[in-house]
């Protein structure tokens, strides 16, 4: 059985905080939640690159769970973090939910491209 992750492409600027919010699942569906879950997004130049250029984590505050029951979260990535890791261009990512079991159950939620654009207004 194949697990399907939503394809979501994003465009961000390198001179602003990256704050995108996402809601997963249907409103009336209470069969699953974000309770007890962690999240990770790795961004790479291509899918075969051995290590990520930038990793976002719920454990370091770059991924924030807003409502575990309604399955809402947002990204909170400072512009300095973006500039330090990514030059303007196109990148690949995937977004994984994982629990604390050993080994953890890892569920892919999203995948796609992140396009980083050069910002104009400085800080």
6-27 confidence digits (pLDDT tens): 999 999 999 999 999 999 999 8
Evaluate whether 95 touches 39 at the Cβ level (below 8 Å): yes
Compute the distance between CA of residue 15 and CA of residue 117 in angstroms, rounded to an integer: 9
Listed as ranges, residues in the chain with pLDDT below 70 are 1-3, 123
Q: Where do the structural domains in the chain lie, given as residue ranges? A: 1-25+36-87+114-123
As a dihedral over the C-alpha atoms of residue 26, residue 94, residue 86, residue 50, rounded to 10 degrees, the angle is: 170
User: Residue 85 and residue 80: Cα distance in Å, rounded?
Assistant: 9
Angle at 41 between CA 38 and CA 42, to 5 degrees: 135
Give me the residue label for tokens 């770059």. Answer: 62
Predicted structure pTM score: 0.92
């Amino acid at each position: 059985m194949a697990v399907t992750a939503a394809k979501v492409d994003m465009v961000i600027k390198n001179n602003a905080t990256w704050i995108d919010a996402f809601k997963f699942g249907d409103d009336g569906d209470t069969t699953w939640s974000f309770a007890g879950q962690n999240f990770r997004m790795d961004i790479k130049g291509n899918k075969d690159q051995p290590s990520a250029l930038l990793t976002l984590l719920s454990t370091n505050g770059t991924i924030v769970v807003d409502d575990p029951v309604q399955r809402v979260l947002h990204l909170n990535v400072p512009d300095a973090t973006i500039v330090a890791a990514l030059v303007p261009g196109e990148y690949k990512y995937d977004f994984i939910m994982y629990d604390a079991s050993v080994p953890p159950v890892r569920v892919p939620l999203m995948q796609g491209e992140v396009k980083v654009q050069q910002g104009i207004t400085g800080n």
